[in-house]
Amino acid sequence: MSEPIEITDSHCHLDFPDFDGERDAIIARAAEAGVTRMVTICTRLSAEPQVRAIAETYAPVFYAAGTHPMSAADEPMASVDELVALAQHPKFVGIGESGLDYHYTADTAQVQKDSLRIHIAAARETGLPLIIHARDADDDMARILTEEYRNGPYACVMHCFSSSAELARAALDLGFYLSMSGIAAFPKSEALRQIFAAAPRDRILVETDAPYLAPPPYRGKRNEPAYTAHTARRGAEALGLDYAEFAAHTQANFDRLFAKAARYGKASA
């Protein structure tokens, strides 16, 4: 029996209570599916110690931290210095997730914008990729990302991308990456798959956003990193590639964007 094709879940939330008591089994199932690396995302800096502990416990797990836009008004405003200090940890590989969410929290738009600019500054200073959450805020998102890039370049991934073709183009024009989640595998997501198919192959990542957004055949159930492979297979179809070729592209893309994680693997091999 051949070994599974290797792939990376570039965005999940292993600290969420949905996984309590099961993390050993979840990491094992991911390995069986060929998911050899995971980036678990801290969405409130108050939870950073718990997220860091998961990354320290499991060899395939890296982490990132920031303030989710939907929590921006409820949490103390992060500072650039605070984020830069957290980034000194060897398994801390990204800034965020940050961004704008006007679907549920449009009333806190200004706080979200202020928080986003702080996270961008931290990404610029650390050289780590910014991890962006964007929902129903395409115009402001494109404007702020572009304005800030003019102030100084930084790297970025549009996590769980499901926004407009216009925002995709704005992000790609800045050299950013688009990350494909289970949404792209849903039957009614053909327009989204076309956005990914039109994107350069060297700018696409895959993720679960677990425990959310499980792809078919697990839609409606708890998502987990092992299911990255199901989304990636659907992504390969959309791009007209076989699974091995698509997986290889996404692995190279992850290594390029999350270079700190790639270096860590080589250093500890």
Q: Kindly list the distances between the CA atom of residue 122 and the CA atoms of 78, 79, 102, 104, 119, in Å, as whole numbers in the listed order.
A: 10, 8, 23, 26, 5
Average of per-residue pLDDT across 181-210: 97
Is residue 2 included in any domain, yes or no? no
Is residue 220 included in any domain, yes or no? yes
Q: Kindly report the number of other CB atoms within 10 A of residue 46's CB atom.
A: 12
Give the global pTM. Answer: 0.96
pLDDT at 4 exceeding the cut of 90? no
Supply the CATH number for residue 25's domain: 3.20.20.140
Is residue 85 included in any domain, yes or no? yes
- Average pLDDT along the chain: 96
- How many domains does the chain contain in total? 1
Is residue 165 included in any domain, yes or no? yes
pLDDT at 263 exceeding the cut of 60? yes
Look at residue 71 in the predicted model and tell me its pLDDT.
96
Report pLDDT digits (tens) over 161-181.
999 999 999 999 999 999 999
Is residue 1 included in any domain, yes or no? no
pLDDT at 193 exceeding the cut of 90? yes
Model confidence at 3, pLDDT cuts 50, 70, 90, reads confident
Look at residue 266 in the predicted model and tell me its pLDDT.
67
Please state the residue numbers annotated as binding site for a divalent metal cation.
11, 13, 97, 133, 159, 209
Is residue 152 included in any domain, yes or no? yes
pLDDT at 136 exceeding the cut of 90? yes
Domain around 263: 7-267
Q: What secondary structure does DSSP assign to the chain, as a single string? A: -PPPPPEEEEEE-TTSGGGTTTHHHHHHHHHHTTEEEEEEEESSGGGHHHHHHHHHH-TTEEEEE---GGGTTTSPPP-HHHHHHHTTSTTEEEEEEEEEEHHHHGGGHHHHHHHHHHHHHHHHHH-PPEEEEEES-HHHHHHHHHHHHHHS---EEETT--S-HHHHHHHHHTT-EEEE-GGGGSTT-HHHHHHHHHS-GGGEEE---TTS-PPTTSTTS---GGGHHHHHHHHHHHHT--HHHHHHHHHHHHHHHTHHHHHHHHHT-
Is residue 50 included in any domain, yes or no? yes
Model confidence at 269, pLDDT cuts 50, 70, 90, reads very low
Look at residue 151 in the predicted model and tell me its pLDDT.
96
Please state the residue numbers annotated as binding site.
11, 13, 97, 133, 159, 209
Look at residue 268 in the predicted model and tell me its pLDDT.
46
Model confidence at 1, pLDDT cuts 50, 70, 90, reads low
Report pLDDT digits (tens) over 35-91.
999 999 999 999 999 999 999 999 999 999 999 999 999 999 999 999 999 999 999
